[in-house]
Structure 1
């Protein structure tokens, strides 16, 4: 028997589910990113950041598929133009995330001289973490928006409804 007193408000429950789905896709992208990075570093003699950029690009592709068809499958995608716009925005913000992620690796590799496998993987992990925060915000704000959030020219934004004031039981108004 649950009283529901510890349940999240509906808007937080929705955000929690969104974060969980984004996290699942992100976790798979993280695995792809690090696996491809380490495979390239093992098989080739590419420079660290070059290998990382290719690994990140492959992870971006897998993340798009996961986000579009799993995490945000219920989001607006009415026609070919909206799909093209969504993909363009996704690639734009992903490129910024790629720069953020690989800047951390670049700084630690060439700035601090930390070139070992463990140091590279830790730096990549930190870079992915910082870039993930940016990607979550940008994807949900600009790329995978809800159907009602796409405004057309001349449309009026929906008003923000504040939370109602709590009613305290047993209190009396004094005048």
Structure 2
């Protein structure tokens, strides 16, 4: 009787070792995914879904406008694709990344000045006989989602001109004039 009990206990230990160690190692080494992969995958999906429990209520984007000399004080939308075509990631350019920093309270004024100086230099280089850029205005447009007014025709995404957007959706971040981005005067030489 003692021998039978000893054999049953030995087979029980072997079954536990085989079931919890040998079998998973064998399946994992022969197959491509561990047996618990589907549970982990489902758990990750639930975690991601729970991150986004509320839909986005507004779609926001930055808009840059400029005033030129002799332009009767009218603001003109500046297309960023004319100034920077290099896309870092997705559809965003380096200028889009700089615009994200332009709204920052600490670093924003410096970034806006540098970006305005760049836009003025590029405008002068591309259109040497054209009017000079004298002011740059930074705007943030926040359009509520689900509005039929922001439904654009099919095709690639394009920001709506500011004239077509209700004023309540537009917030001015800052204005930079040509005095702000002009280089400081050179010091006079000592006689």
Common fold: TM-score over 0.5: no
Question: Where is the strand percentage greater, Structure 1 or Structure 2?
Answer: 2
Question: Where is the helix percentage greater, Structure 1 or Structure 2?
Answer: 1
Q: Which has the larger radius of gyration?
A: 2
Task: Using structure 1 for the length normalisation, give the TM-score.
Answer: 0.25
Task: Using structure 2 for the length normalisation, give the TM-score.
Answer: 0.23
